């Protein structure tokens, strides 16, 4: 058997079926087999005192790469039936054969079919996310570009309750990329372990479920991880080296992890695109079976390639919404903001709400939904957490305390008539 090998990071890699894989003893077995065969035909192999180690030593010095060599070809995507070649300038796509110089370490478990019908898979995604549905193909397109060394400094926060499609969407991405291209390292582990980046090397996605709080030092480390593709790779009992650890990060939660409100890292918040899975779907045991088909994955691949080309020319597409990430992450999932501010108050730069009237509305809401009603000082102090501040204005010659920059939602307040009487 003839091996096509290279070495990097004091390890030998073999070219097999279009990709390079780490030698896990195949070379040693082949050396032993060749020596046994030679001795059977009378060839003297005594000149080699330690044949396996001597051959491996030579392989480490031949085909040596000092810099990380893998997955560097631009516009190429390895799939089951060949290599997709994307011409970004002309926006064309064709399928070519695998070649050793492409230096792939992965192959997507997907068949490229340019004619695959995308109607079903696209409908499912938009049922989950509505107008935000374009994000799912964009995530995959971003992965393709980041696997080739590009950096976009954007990660994704999936929010949603049970049976909203969030877990199925993650399972779809898992099926699309395969276990070998997915890591599952939490932000806490990334910060706490010096070996965490070794789990990210060569991965397409990092999926985590961080339901706990995120501290400021963790957000700083996360910004470092998402700010560049090249990182020090530390593995136990191995010499450190610089490699590519540039997955797209997805964090899935029922509600956002809590942050230290005294030290809000707004740059950290800006690193995230927040997706809200707000639907409620009945349990269908066959749904995943019908969704995770080769045809649907091929169709999703085509959507992702189109998104990849769009990202190349125009950058990542953001979700257009009135609320900032600060509101979505820090406030919307706080009961007072979700059940009171967002429903009964409307931002208006020229408006104001009399504080006494607002408090009466708050009392009525507490009565309606069974909340404990806090006294005025506590209530207004809680509002300041959302940037809602008190002011004094003059009305008919009187100084009146108001909430400035907001007005009441008259329709919502009118529904509280019984409680306000």
**pLDDT tens column, 100-114:** 999 999 999 999 999
Predicted pLDDT of residue 420: 63
Return the sign of the alpha-carbon dihedral for residues 233, 234, 236, 239: positive
Class of domain 76-324: alpha beta
Give the torsion sign (CA, 316, 322, 324, 325).
negative
pLDDT of residue 264 exceeding 90: no
Query: What pTM was estimated for this model as a whole?
Result: 0.82
CATH class of 334-420: mainly alpha
> Do the Cβ atoms of 331 and 386 come closer than 8 Å?
yes
Q: What is the mean pLDDT of the chain?
A: 88
Q: What's the rounded Cα separation, in Å, for the pair 126 and 83? A: 29
Percent helix, strand and coil across the chain, each rounded to 5? 45, 20, 35
pLDDT given for residue 394 in this prediction: 83
Please say if the pLDDT value at position 1 is more than 60: no
pLDDT > 70? residue 52: no
Q: In this predicted model, what pLDDT tens digit does every residue of 189-228 receive, in sequence order?
A: 887 778 888 899 989 999 987 666 676 677 888 899 999 9
Please state the φ and ψ torsions of residue 244, each to the nearest 5 degrees: -95, 115
**DSSP code of 318?**
P
The average pLDDT across 47-75 equals: 77
Share of the chain above pLDDT 90, in %: 56
pLDDT digits (tens, 9 = 90+) for 391-408: 998 888 889 999 999 999
Q: Over 80: is that where the pLDDT of 50 sits?
A: no
Q: Which residues make Cβ contacts (< 8 Å) with residue 278, sequence separation at least 6?
A: 130, 160, 164
Question: Residue 390 contacts by C-beta under 8 Å, 6 or more apart in sequence?
Answer: 355, 380, 401, 402, 403, 404
For the chain, the domains span: 5-65, 76-324, 334-420
Strand ranges (E), 314-396: 345-354, 390-395
Q: What's the pLDDT tens digit per position in 358-375?
A: 999 999 999 999 999 999
Contact present, 220 and 231 (Cβ < 8 Å): no
Per-residue confidence band for 261, with pLDDT thresholds at 50, 70 and 90: low
């Amino acid at each position: 058997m003839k091996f096509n090998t290279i070495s990097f990071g004091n390890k030998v890699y073999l070219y097999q079926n279009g990709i390079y894989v780490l030698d896990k003893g195949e070379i040693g077995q082949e050396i032993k087999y060749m020596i046994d065969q030679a001795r059977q035909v009378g060839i003297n192999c005594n000149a080699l005192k330690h044949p396996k180690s001597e051959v491996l030593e030579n392989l480490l010095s031949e085909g040596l790469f000092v810099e990380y060599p893998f997955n560097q070809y631009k516009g190429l995507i390895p799939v089951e039936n060949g290599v997709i070649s994307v011409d970004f300038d002309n926006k064309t796509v064709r399928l070519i054969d695998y070649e050793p110089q492409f230096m792939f370490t992965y192959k997507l478990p997907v068949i490229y079919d340019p004619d695959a019908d995308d109607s079903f898979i696209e409908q499912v995604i938009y049922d989950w996310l509505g107008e935000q549905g374009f994000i799912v193909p964009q995530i995959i397109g971003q992965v393709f570009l980041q696997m080739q060394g590009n950096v976009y400094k954007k990660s994704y926060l999936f929010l949603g309750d049970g049976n909203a499609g969030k877990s199925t969407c993650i399972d779809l991405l898992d099926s699309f990329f395969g276990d070998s291209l997915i890591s599952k390292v939490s932000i806490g582990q990334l910060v706490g372990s010096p070996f965490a980046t070794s789990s990210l090397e060569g991965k397409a996605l990092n999926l985590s479920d961080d339901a706990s709080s995120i501290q400021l030092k963790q957000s700083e480390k996360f910004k470092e991880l998402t700010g560049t593709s090249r990182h020090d790779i530390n593995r136990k009992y191995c010499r450190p080296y610089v490699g590519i650890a540039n997955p797209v990060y997805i964090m899935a939660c029922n509600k956002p992890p809590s942050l230290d409100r005294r030290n809000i890292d707004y740059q950290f918040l800006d690193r995230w695109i927040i997706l809200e899975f707000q639907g409620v779907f009945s349990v269908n045991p066959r749904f995943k079976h019908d969704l995770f088909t080769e045809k649907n994955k091929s169709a999703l691949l085509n959507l992702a390639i189109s998104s990849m080309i769009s990202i190349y020319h125009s950058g990542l597409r953001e979700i257009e919404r009135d609320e900032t990430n600060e509101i979505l992450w820090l406030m919307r999932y706080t009961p007072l903001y979700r059940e009171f501010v967002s429903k009964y108050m409307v931002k208006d730069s020229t408006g104001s709400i009399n504080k006494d009237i607002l408090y009466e509305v708050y009392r009525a809401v507490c009565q309606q939904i069974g909340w404990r009603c806090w006294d005025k000082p506590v209530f207004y102090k809680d509002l300041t957490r959302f940037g809602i501040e008190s002011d004094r204005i003059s009305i008919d010659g009187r100084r009146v305390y108001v909430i400035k920059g907001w007005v009441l939602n008259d329709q919502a307040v009118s529904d509280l008539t019984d409680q306000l009487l």
